Amino acid sequence: MSIAVGIDTGTQSTKVVFYDYAVRKIAAEASAPHELVSGDDGTREQEASWWTTAIVDCFRQVPADIRRRVTALGVSGQQHGFVPVDAEGKVLRPVKLWCDTSTPGECRELTEAYGGREKLLAGPGNLILPGYTASKILWLKHNHPDLYKRMAKILLPHDYINWYLTGSYTMEAGDASGTALLDVRTRTWDRELLKALDPERDLLELLPEIISAGEPAGYVTEKTAEELGIPAGIPVACGGGDNMMGAIGTGTVEDGFLTMSLGTSGTIYGYSDKPLIDPEGYLAAFCSSTGGWLPLLCTMNCTVASEQTRALFKRGVKEFDAIAGTAPAGAEGVLMLPYFNGERTPNFPHGKACIVGMNDRNMSEANIARAAMESAIFGLRMGLDSFNRLGFQAREVRLIGGGANSPLWRQIAADILDLPVAVPEIGEAAALGGAVQALWTKELLDGRQTDIGDLAREHVKLDGSKACRPDPDASAVYEKAYRNYSAYTEALSGLFS
């Protein structure tokens, strides 16, 4: 009985790891894909039932003897998704996801109703941006007033999965801070902002209790235990958003480390033992799921750029990397602004992708391919700049996501950020983070006052063969290229906002 399970329900799939903490190895893992409903207005939605179906599918892929050894579970979920449920726990409509950009009007309306941008940063600590949950709630009120009236609980994706596992409604500060409704300094709901969202209804009654990091969200019900083939009554950790769980799964639970994720979206975040509010609003002032804070920058377009470019040139992944690798750092001046899905940082909900800087000498497949890869890191470099302005002293970047598998991308990241890059041995960082948090919760319940930092150091190992150090010559080239990238972004901003 030494298996902790981490469940990571993301945009594209659900991944589950069965982590044997006695021998510090993954005993089994499984995944199942999700569909995505998209609309030209920026709509990005999924059915909540797809997640639970995928979870059941994943568990049934794992041998029964391993499932019977499970002692605790922890859930990672895509942040910001809006799961409205009625009094019986029925989900009222498809879930608007983190990448849904259909609510810029609601963002403006709610910002004005509260008193403006500066008041938001001084109060709850986060701006109201497309993708955050707050604007989605107002969207439901505007577009489906009948469903809004029936709504009895406001949940996030990982909260809904915790409810499926335990039958209990809870939230924790990390994921809750991504709603933009939480005062991140006090970890309490901002009543004035809730009132601005709905002056007539007390939305506080619809928000679950916020439990502390390390507390269990509940215990696995008999029904779910039978469905998944695991013991009933075992604890489910509080869980968190995918970035919060990724922080645990990369060891970013103490000052000095940054985690950067190169996936469909891109994120860069670091642990802080005090609230870190960015006056420019680029860094989201999130809480961590370990009792601290997790300032974070998110871009909606990361590997999207390389995937779109790869499809255009009809290349395989390794072939695309090889071609991009023949171009020099900086792609001879070719730059890509990768706003294929609009963008959250910078706040360009109507952004479009552009290729700029081309002339009759540098327009080549290799330069365009490399520019696509570089654009993902340039977008996240904005986050590093914000960390630097706020006095955060970064020592190392822990790289995760699909892009971390590319040697070229790892070196590009080290050179653009001018920081050493390390890669965890276990690539499914959010799922591993869920498993480590589950182990932490079990230890606390068993009366052992275990520190999450000690657990992370014990169970998160780095792959030395994938480490990269910045090349000074390349970093100098990228410093100039990044200034050009920023200048093009500024020049075209009027078309995107």
Q: What's the burial of 168, exposed, middle or buried (CB within 10 Å: 0-12/13-18/19+)? A: middle
Nearest to 178 by CA among 305, 357, 298, 19: 298
Task: Label residues 456-491 b or e (16+ Cβ within 10 Å = b).
Answer: beebbeeeeebebebeeebbebbeebbeebeebbee
DSSP tag of 116 = -
Catalytic residue among 100, 183, 242, 418: 242
Tokens (6 digits) for 412: 């590009």
The 3-state DSSP class for residue 265 equals coil
Residue 194, amino acid: L
Kindly report the CA angle at 453 between 449 and 457, in degrees rounded to 5?
Answer: 120
Task: Label residues 269-293 b or e (16+ Cβ within 10 Å = b).
Answer: bbbbeebbbbeebbbbbbbbbbbbb
Spatial separation of the C-alpha atoms in residues 371 and 379, rounded to whole Å: 12
Spatial separation of the C-alpha atoms in residues 129 and 111, rounded to whole Å: 9
Cα–Cα distances (Å) from 1 to 6, 69, 107, 444, in that order, read 15, 4, 48, 17
Q: According to DSSP H, which parts of 10-80 are helical?
A: 48-60, 64-67
Active site residue 242: yes
Sign of the dihedral defined by the CA atoms of residues 272, 275, 279, 284, in that order: positive
Nearest to 244 by CA among 302, 191, 298: 298
Spatial separation of the C-alpha atoms in residues 349 and 103, rounded to whole Å: 9
- State CA 362 to chain mean position distance: 35
CB-hemisphere CA count at 13 Å for 316?
2
Tokens (6 digits) for 78: 């895509």
Residue 285: partners with Cβ closer than 8 Å, 6 or more residues away: 125, 126, 177, 184, 275, 276, 277, 278, 293, 295
- State CA 302 to chain mean position distance: 12
In angstroms, how far apart are the furthest CA atoms of the chain?
A: 69
Indicate which residues carry an active-site annotation: 242
